[in-house]
Amino acid sequence: MFGAPTPILRSFDEARAKAFYLDFLGFELMFEHRFEPGLPLYMGVRKGDCVLHLSEHYGDGCPGAALRIPVDDVTGYVAGLRARQFGNARPGEPQQAPWGSLEITIADPAGNRLTFYTESEDGASE
């Protein structure tokens, strides 16, 4: 039996990562860990069933990773993001992908690309 994987994304700036994931995208903080004060942050965030880990540690993830995250209503989610008037990301409208899903890609402060998508009516998504 396999469970869902938990991606580890590279992070460089605690304040910017928290502003992006918590304040802008609406994730909740699950935990924060440092081996001792002043060392790099490792934290977990969650929104619904989507769980991500963010790490400032060398070797934990590579900047520029890409993730696909399913959402029930990508158009509504993106409208809510635009309403927040976040200073570093103003997403446009979701676009129809060649494989049928409606999606939008938003880069985080470390250059990781998060593609939020909703499956088409016929079930195509990947």
1-10, 41-50, 68-77, 114-123: least confidently modelled range: 114-123
Residue 20 has pLDDT above 60, yes or no: yes
> Are 6 and 50 a contacting pair, CB within 8 Å?
no
Q: Which of 10, 65, 70 is nearest to 43 (CA)?
A: 10
**Please, which residues bridge with residue 113 across strands?**
66, 107
For the chain, the structural domain boundaries read 8-118
- Residue 63 — very low, low, confident or very high, per pLDDT cuts 50/70/90? confident
**Please, which residues bridge with residue 5 across strands?**
none
The single residue listed with the structure tokens 């029930």 is 72
The strand order across the sheet containing 42-47 reads 8-10, 50-55, 42-47, 28-33
**Where does the chain show beta strands of DSSP type E?**
8-10, 28-33, 42-47, 50-55, 66-70, 95-96, 102-107, 113-118
What architecture is domain 8-118? Roll (3.10)
Query: What pTM value is reported for the model?
Result: 0.91
